[in-house]
Chain A
Amino acid sequence: MNLNMLFTLLRKEFLLEFRQRYAISGIVLYVFSMVFVVYISSVRVQPPVWNVLFWLIVLFASINAVVKSFVQESGARQLYYYQLADPATLLLAKIIYNTLLLLVLSSLAFGAYSVVAGNPVKDPGLFALVLLLGSLGFSIAFTFIASIAAKANNSATLMAILSFPVVLPILLTLVRLSQIALRVIQDTSYQRDIINLLAIDAILITLTFVLFPFIWKD
């Protein structure tokens, strides 16, 4: 793995996204539609419910944003990458790219949802950190699952059923942390939850790098 290759691959991801602007626009529109649908069906809600609804929006938007990262590239192009780059670098580039993408999407979702449904966040610093950690965790888990699901014919269904149970520990910790940021629950020792979350991320990313070469070979 070398940095040069990583930057080239990252640049490729951004370029690809820029050239296929309809894909990213689709996801952004998806986020706005979802925020709107959730808002219309619940209008103004109490902070605990706001928290849950917000994370549901982010979860579904993330799945839809990440699933395309392997599906959109055809088998022939995968073969081409396989000859040029090593799988670990390719995967790392995808994870970094998806983390940034999810960070942007969840910030957009937060902006849109707080405009229509109010902003109950009391600790913006912690909430921003939770969004960042959430994007990182979702990106690791979903990118890996997407690489498995992309091999099958029913990849959209597979993506959902394979990733929901795996991502649940991350989601539960995120919801808990953001409840603290919303002052829905009081907990001064939330550092432990952040460490838990980072530990889960560490387990997942290690496994991802060990296992990805087996998915890659076809």
Chain B
Amino acid sequence: MWWKTLSVILLLYVITTGLLVPLKPGITHVTPETFKTGQTAEIQFHGYNTFYSRSAASDIRIWLEYDSLHAVAGQNIRILSDTTLSAAFTFPARLPRPTTSVMLNAIIDHPADGVSLLPGAIEVALDTAAPSGAASWNQTPVSQLHIKSDFTFPYRNVIYESIRNTYFHVPMWFALMFLFIASVVYSVRYLYHPQPDFDRRAAGYAETGLLFGGLGLVTGMLWAHFAWGAAWSNDIKQLMTAVALLIYLAYFILRRSFDEPEKGARLAAVYNVFAFASLIPLLYIVPRMFASLHPGATGNPAFGSEDLDNTMRLVFYPSIIGFTLLGFWVAELRIRFQRVADKAMGLD
């Protein structure tokens, strides 16, 4: 069958590109992190996936930026290694707005690597004792950046390389949703045309959906352990997912609770439709009412447009199709096995 081949090809593509394509260069941290106004300091920038020595130090530019109008450029830039840069900064005597301290973003522009950014990299506090100094906030505005558009995944602080889990964790939920929809469709068909094959299909798709739900939960917990510090953190989406899986476990118990298979199949089909409909508020209404650690949490249960870039889309969408087709393939095998088993027991 062509779609089984397609799913294998897509998943091979997803696993190779998803795991091997490098991340864009980024800045992990800056040392030291706190300064005072009017101070002149030597600052070190620590890069990730960077190759600073590939171009001359004079071509590299570094800014500490407050907003598009206020930035301080680094002087006397030196390349210490491929991942370490050092530059001298002289902070102006006043802060860009009347407050006691501001956070500045670090921007490094490198002719070969491109631009990398670290939001809120350092803090500058107002030094009331020494209100003098020649430097100003807008001598060298951030301009003429080298924007690179090569095939790399975005660098994000906190999640780093685990951004690749997007291609495995999220498609599990897509596959689960498609499988549960197929299961409900066959349950409805069973109610109108009670044939044992429709019941087998409904159960087979639900079982495979449950498998993908388990995998989605495990990949999610691994990711949460890395990014949020704990595998289970009382996040509303984790809770709702666990409940959704409980519903389908209850479905299997209900299916087996009757002496006559026909009665069990019919009542399980009814419960499947009912449970699927109550899954909609569980997954799309309730999470909107609570804060979540997941991206796009406030008012939006899915991804925001800023969570994926075009390179990621090239792997993410094939991954959804690949895992969904794989899910239907597994379900098909499960259903065929059950059909043979039922025949052998004389139930069909």
Q: Which of B198-206, B224-232, B278-286 contacts A (4 or more CB under 8 A)?
A: B278-286
Nearest residue (CB) in A for B266 is A214
Are B289 and A165 neighbours in the complex by a CB distance under 8 Å? no
> A residues near B, CB below 8 A?
141, 144, 148, 151-154, 158, 161-162, 164-166, 168-169, 172-173, 176, 193, 196, 199-200, 203-204, 207-208, 211, 214-215, 218
Given A158-B253, A165-B243, A214-B266: A151 and B258 within 8 A (CB)? yes
CA gap between A183 and B281 in the complex, in Å? 25
A208 to B270, CA, bound (A): 9
Chain B residues with CB under 8 A of A166 = 247, 274-275, 278
List 6 A-B pairs, Cβ < 8 Å. Answer: A153-B259, A161-B246, A166-B275, A193-B289, A199-B285, A211-B273
Q: A203-B281, A211-B273, A215-B270 are in contact. Are A165 and B247 (CB under 8 A)?
A: yes
Task: Report chain B residues within 8 Å CB of A200.
Answer: 278, 281, 285
Q: Which residues of A contact B250 (CB under 8 A)?
A: 161-162, 165
Knowing A148-B267, A151-B263, A169-B286, say if A211 contacts B274 (CB, 8 Å): yes
User: In this assembly, does B254 line the interface, its C-beta being within 8 Å of a C-beta of chain A?
Assistant: yes
Once bound together, how far apart are the Cα atoms of A164 and B245, in whole Å? Answer: 12
User: How far does the Cβ of A146 sit from chain B's closest Cβ, in whole Å?
Assistant: 12
Q: Given the interface contacts A158-B253, A161-B253, A176-B289, does A148 sit within 8 Å of B270 by beta carbon?
A: yes
Given contacts A158-B257, A169-B285, A199-B285, contact A215 B267 (CB under 8 A): yes
Chain B residues closer than 8 Å to A218, beta-carbon distance: 263
Interface mask (B276-299 → A, CB under 8 Å = 1, otherwise 0): 011011100110010000000000
Give the A-B contact count at a CB cut-off of 8 A: 82
State the CA gap A169–B244 with chains docked (Å): 11
Expressed in whole angstroms, the minimum distance between the Cβ of A175 and any Cβ of chain B is: 11
Contact partner, B257, options A153, A199, A204, A215, Cβ 8 Å = A153
Given A173-B289, A196-B289 in contact, is the A207-B277 Cβ separation under 8 Å? yes
Q: Are A172 and B286 in contact (CB under 8 A)?
A: yes
Q: Tell me, yes or no, whether B191 is within 8 Å of chain A by CB.
A: yes
Cβ contact within 8 Å between A207 and B267? no
Q: Which residues in B have their C-beta under 8 angstroms from that of A215? A: 266-267, 270
- Answer whether A148 and B254 are a contact pair too, CB < 8 Å, given A169-B285, A169-B286, A211-B273: yes
Q: Contact residues of B with A, CB < 8 Å?
A: 191, 243-244, 246-247, 249-250, 253-254, 257-259, 263, 266-267, 269-271, 273-275, 277-278, 280-282, 285-286, 289
A164 touching B257 in the complex, CB below 8 Å, given contacts A151-B263, A211-B274: no
Q: State A196–B247 Cα separation when bound (angstroms).
A: 21
Expressed in whole angstroms, the minimum distance between the Cβ of B260 and any Cβ of chain A is 10
Contact yes or no, B282 A162, CB < 8 A? no
Q: Which residues of B contact A169 (CB under 8 A)?
A: 278, 281-282, 285-286
> In the bound complex, do residue B273 and residue A207 qualify as a contact, i.e. CB atoms below 8 Å apart?
yes
Q: In the complex, are the beta carbons of B278 and A152 less than 8 A apart?
A: no
Q: For B247, list chain A residues within 8 Å (CB).
A: 165-166
Having A148-B267, A164-B246, A203-B278, one finds 19 other A-B pairs with CB under 8 Å, namely A148-B254, A148-B271, A151-B267, A152-B257, A154-B257, A162-B254, A165-B244, A165-B278, A166-B247, A166-B278, A196-B285, A199-B281, A204-B274, A207-B273, A207-B274, A211-B270, A211-B273, A211-B274, A218-B263
Q: Which residue of A lies closest to B247 (CB)?
A: A165
Q: State whether A214 touches B257 (Cβ < 8 A).
A: no
Considering the complex, give the chain B residue whose CB is closest to the CB of A218.
Answer: B263
CA distance A204 to B280 in the complex (A): 11
Tell me, rounded to whole Å, the shortest Cβ–Cβ distance linking A157 to chain B.
8
Query: A214–B191 contact, CB under 8 A?
Result: yes
Chain B residues with Cβ below 8 Å from A172 are: 286, 289
Closest to B248 in A: A165
Give A144 to B271 CA distance when docked, in angstroms: 10
Q: Which of A148, A164, A173, A207 contacts B286 (CB under 8 A)?
A: A173
CB-CB under 8 A from B280, the residues of chain A are: 203
Contact, CB under 8 Å: B254 / A158: yes
* B263 contacts across to A, CB distance below 8 A: 151, 218
